Amino acid sequence: MAKNTSSPGRRFMKLAGMTASIATKTVSSSIRNLTADDEQKLAAKTKLFQDIGVQIADTLGEMKGAVMKVGQIASQYKDIFPPEVAKAIAKLQRQAPAVPFSAIQQQVEKELGQPLLTIFQSFEQQPFAAASIGQVHRAVLPNGQEVVVKVQYPGVDEACESDLKQVRLALRLMGVIKIDKKLQDKLFAEIQDSLSDELNYEIEAQNLEVFKTFHEQLDDKIIIPTVYKNYSSRRILTLSLERGESIETASTWPIEIRNEIGRRLIRALGQEIFYLKRFHCDPHPGNFAFREDGSVIIYDFGGVKTLNIEIIEHFKHLVQAARQQDVAAIENHLDALHSLSEKGLFPQALYLEWLEVLLRPLTTQYDFAQNSAHHDGVILVKKSLKYWDVFKPSPDTLMVNRTISGHYWNLIHLKVDDNLNDLFEELVPH
């Protein structure tokens, strides 16, 4: 691994140093604010959050492995952080630098028990993708099948628990996590589980097979790579090479193809949530590729969220209540989903304005490139700001909301212009 993470002691010291520095900054800021007015306090708080966010991102970004992954997962839950912090840690989503090929070769041979060129006919030394816990290489099997091989960095899984504890301590000292202790515990338990799952490629292999079987029965243009079990292990995942074009390329295709792809993305997500009860929850554009026949290829099933039936039912009824503009029912379901601090505080008129904005992309002829719902939503945020504490992030729905939002932006990138109401009705009938 990279030099700065080769020693658990050095990694711990770097994280502990970050935590101590954050604590000092937070205390100093509090002391300076004793005699400040409200405007000065707000400016100081914003500056503090910006500084701390940059420090967290810089520290975690230097460190390969589980700790950087923790930062990435935290950035997926950015609803729980102030915008200044969320913006800083969002950069952890970017690609990490690759590790030397010798370490990769050693890991493959250790996991699969044979010399690399006995296992594979050929194996490209240069990765075409590198992330926080592993990197991906193209290779060819002895039978000539082109594959991609996902290789976990050596030693990355060993520091997972301590890394998570340090990051949580740093965030707690900042005092910026916007949920109570009980929900914090639930959220970090979920992050721990998510991290453990992502570090176990056997779980990702199972996810790939489940989702492949599910989608094949419903739509043969949802393409999910095939797992080659004999060339896979807990830390190695070998998959069929499925070629497609990027979202940038697909955005230049005729509107009919773009609309077909947009519908396919939304239908697949809805089917996963409401029927499979687990869904691919990393809607980053890099996890999808597209073909001119309207096919969608989905990659990276390390991030999968399973939902219980009760949550799905509340979510479904919430959507139905929203379409009927039934504010009382909306609040009941938000409360059941732990997304509401208290009923009856948010004005009904604002609810109705928000409902129109939020439902517009799914119920009307909508030009995603114009992005009118987002622009109108920004205006509404200003009107709603004083009531904002009424709503709170819920671990039950954060990833659903995040994934839906991510696909909304994917449809913007694709410049979809369509009326999705029939699709919406199909997935969540009135």
**Total length of the chain:** 430
Short-list 217, 321, 225, 332, CA closest to 275 = 217
Task: Determine the residue type at 122.
Answer: S
Can you tell me the distance from the alpha carbon of 69 to that of 157, in angstroms, rounded to the nearest whole number? 11
Can you tell me the distance from the alpha carbon of 100 to that of 78, in angstroms, rounded to the nearest whole number? 32
Question: Parallel, antiparallel, or unpaired: how do β-strands 304-306 and 278-280 relate?
Answer: antiparallel
Q: For residue 379, what are the contacts with CB-CB under 8 A and spacing of at least 6?
A: none
Short-list 60, 130, 127, CA closest to 90 = 60
Short-list 15, 2, 60, CA closest to 165 = 15
The active-site residue, picked from 157, 163, 197, 282, is: 282
Judge contact between 60 and 67, C-beta under 8 A: yes
Can you tell me the distance from the alpha carbon of 23 to that of 7, in angstroms, rounded to the nearest whole number? 25
Q: What is the DSSP letter of 385?
A: G
Judge contact between 236 and 201, C-beta under 8 A: yes
How is residue 119 written in tokens?
């296992």
Q: What is the DSSP letter of 325?
A: T
Can you tell me the distance from the alpha carbon of 223 to that of 226, in angstroms, rounded to the nearest whole number? 9
Judge contact between 70 and 60, C-beta under 8 A: yes
Cβ atoms < 10 Å from Cβ of 221: 15
Q: What is the DSSP letter of 81?
A: S
Q: In the block, which residue shows the tokens 């449809």? A: 411
Can you tell me the distance from the alpha carbon of 51 to that of 45, in angstroms, rounded to the nearest whole number? 10
Question: Parallel, antiparallel, or unpaired: how do β-strands 278-280 and 129-130 relate?
Answer: unpaired
How is residue 81 written in tokens?
């952080």
How is residue 247 written in tokens?
């979202």
Give yes or no: 282 in active site: yes
How is residue 134 written in tokens?
């592993």
Judge contact between 380 and 373, C-beta under 8 A: no
Catalytic residues: 282
